[in-house]
Amino acid sequence: MLVEIITPEQFKSLLSNIDTSTPDGSKYYCILLILYDNGMRISELVTLRISNIDFEGKTIRVMGKGRIERLVPITVYTRRHIAKYIDGARSKLSLGNCPYLFANYDDEPISKNSVQQFMRRLLVKSGLKGVKFSPHILRHSFATQFLANGDSVFHLKAILGHKSLTTTLRYTKLQVQDIQKQHEKFSPIAQLFRNKS
């Protein structure tokens, strides 16, 4: 069975429906960028502290399953929006000295439910029909796209925080069109008879 994912174009369409001029919009925009940028689990995201972000090292320190710490990479685009959120919108949310990157007004970490509800509302607002959208689908989408773009399953395993490669292989299924495209490129027959078709 193929894993359900959203496409990069669908994700971009969803982002375009977030009003980033508001503090809450800026917050959720950053949340979605992080989830799609490195496949972080929602349980890992909600407990992120500002001190976990290394802007110079281009990583976020994550406490994963089994309390195992790992570093996950973040792109320049995501880093820029996190910095913008911290410097602007976050201060407007009256979070004071709260250590959490994304917090409720009582200085507690944002709840998983808050993120999931926002995603449900955003999906309706975007008008995308027949699309499923959740933190876990973003994790699947990141993993699938990461491999489809040509990177290694070993790198993916490290980013996702899996203990075994078997989990990573089960967890990510390339879409049929991606498999066909790669097959055309790398099949021994395709290589052998490249100029004879």
Query: Does the residue 1 lie in any domain?
Result: no
8-state DSSP, 99 = -
- Tell me, yes or no, whether 3 lies in a domain: no
For residues 43, 49, 51, 54, the Cα torsion angle rounded to the nearest 10 degrees is 40
29 given a catalytic annotation? no
In a domain, 144, yes or no: yes
Is 29 domain-assigned?
yes
Q: How many domains does the chain have?
A: 1
Catalytic residue chosen out of the listed positions 49, 61, 136, 173 = 136
With H, G, I as helix, E, B as strand and everything else as coil, classify residue 63.
strand
Domain residues for the domain of 93 are 8-196
* 79-82, Cβ contacts within 8 angstroms, sequence gap of 24 or more: 79/55, 81/26, 81/29, 81/30, 81/33, 82/30, 82/33, 82/34, 82/53
pLDDT the model gives residue 196: 59
Strands (E), 74-151: none
Q: Which of 12, 65, 121, 185 is catalytic?
A: 65
Q: Which residues pair with 109 in a beta bridge?
A: 103
Segments of the chain scoring below 70 in pLDDT: 1-3, 171-180, 182-183, 186-197
In-domain check, residue 95: yes
> Which candidate, 110, 112, 107, 128, places its Cα nearest to that of 27?
110
Look up the pTM and report it: 0.85
pLDDT attached to residue 178: 64
pLDDT of 39 reads: 93
Is 136 a residue of the active site?
yes
183 given a catalytic annotation: no
Rounded to a whole number, what is the largest CA-CA distance in the chain? 68
Tell me what pLDDT residue 67 has.
81
pLDDT value at position 147?
84
CATH number of the domain encompassing residue 63: 1.10.443.10
pLDDT tens, 14-38? 999 999 999 999 999 999 999 999 9
Report if residue 23 sits inside a domain: yes
Q: What is the pLDDT of residues 86-117, one digit of tens each?
A: 998 888 887 778 899 998 877 789 999 999 99
On whether residue 48 sits in a domain, the answer given is yes
What gap in Å lies between CA 69 and CA 89, rounded to an integer?
28
Annotation says 65 is catalytic: yes
